[in-house]
Amino acid sequence: MMQEHFSFAPISSNEGKTIQERFEVFNRNNPWVYRKLCDLAMMLKYKGHDRIGIKMLFEVLRWEFYMQITKTDASEWKLNNNYTSRYARLLMEQEPALKGFFSTRTINE
């Protein structure tokens, strides 16, 4: 059942942290996000797609997440668009089948 994937850690204070530092904390506290993005990407890869946009997967994940929670719960959790490129890079680094699967640009911190 999908529900087990959607336990989340509430947003913590990000004051004074770089985007990379905030991403690392979020990813560590919400490992299901990486797993779900990986599952979605792998499904498309095995359907024959050579390249996709990570933002499309973020929107799918948001939709699935919002279908599982109430409006009150949604105010405590956000999937930050600033993390898209970080997830794309992490997925391509850790999943050999996804190497080169996402387009990335230079990160400007």
Alpha-carbon distance 101 to 15, whole Å?
33
Closest CA to 33 of 71, 72, 73, 80: 80
Q: Is the residue at 32 inside a domain?
A: yes
pLDDT the model gives residue 39: 97
The gap from C-alpha 35 to its chain's centroid, in whole angstroms, comes to 8
Q: Which domain holds residue 80?
A: 18-98
Alpha-carbon distance 65 to 37, whole Å?
12
Q: Is the residue at 47 inside a domain?
A: yes
Mean pLDDT of 65-82: 75
Q: Which two tokens stand for residue 11?
A: 């947003």
In tens, the pLDDT along 3-23 reads 445 555 655 666 778 999 999
Mean pLDDT of 44-62: 94
Q: Is the residue at 69 inside a domain?
A: yes
Domain count, the chain: 1
pLDDT the model gives residue 67: 83
Q: Is the residue at 94 inside a domain?
A: yes
The answer, yes or no, to whether residue 43 has pLDDT greater than 60, is yes
pLDDT the model gives residue 14: 67
